[in-house]
């Protein structure tokens, strides 16, 4: 049995109707995303951003808890979001809530996957 606070949670989300000026450029995205990841209580090990020409961004945060990635298509107001955390599942949901509040999409499609299969697998020699 998995106790609360010990889940691996994978949130996959699509944000539709996001204002293009928020998601066009890597510099702006970093200013918005760094505080979100921090406020969610996640531990950033590294982050990388790629600026597409003329606009659009892909970024990933490597976390002690796993990762957060975001890909944008500002020409259609779309963001693809992936949040995967191990341990305290509340951090993943807090990150999602802050993303939704910050980017204010008109429509959201979200899937939540619990990924704890590894907890019941037999140990191997390493």
Give me the catalytic one of 50, 66, 69, 95. Answer: 66
C-alpha distances out from residue 84 to 10, 99, 115, Å:
4, 14, 9
Give me the catalytic one of 47, 58, 69, 71. Answer: 71
Q: What is the DSSP annotation of 72-95?
A: EEGGGTEEEEEEEESS-HHHHHHH
Q: At what angle do helices 89-103 and 26-39 cross, to 10 degrees?
A: 140
Q: Is 59 a known active-site residue?
A: no
Give me the catalytic one of 8, 10, 59, 86. Answer: 86
What is the token pair recorded at 87? 């341990």
Cα–Cα distance for residue pair 74/72, rounded to 1 Å: 6
- Residues with a catalytic annotation lie at 66, 71, 86
């Amino acid at each position: 049995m998995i106790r609360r606070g010990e889940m691996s949670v994978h949130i996959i989300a699509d944000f539709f109707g996001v204002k293009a000026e928020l998601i066009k450029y890597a510099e702006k995205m970093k200013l918005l995303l760094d505080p979100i990841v921090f406020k969610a209580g996640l531990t950033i090990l590294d982050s990388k951003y790629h600026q597409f020409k003329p606009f659009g961004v892909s970024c990933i945060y490597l976390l002690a808890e796993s990762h957060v990635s975001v890909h944008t298509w500002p020409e259609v107001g779309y963001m693809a979001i992936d949040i995967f955390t191990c341990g305290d599942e509340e951090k993943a949901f807090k990150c999602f809530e802050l993303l939704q509040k910050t980017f204010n999409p008109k429509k959201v499609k979200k899937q939540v996957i619990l990924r704890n299969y590894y907890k019941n697998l037999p140990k191997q020699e390493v």
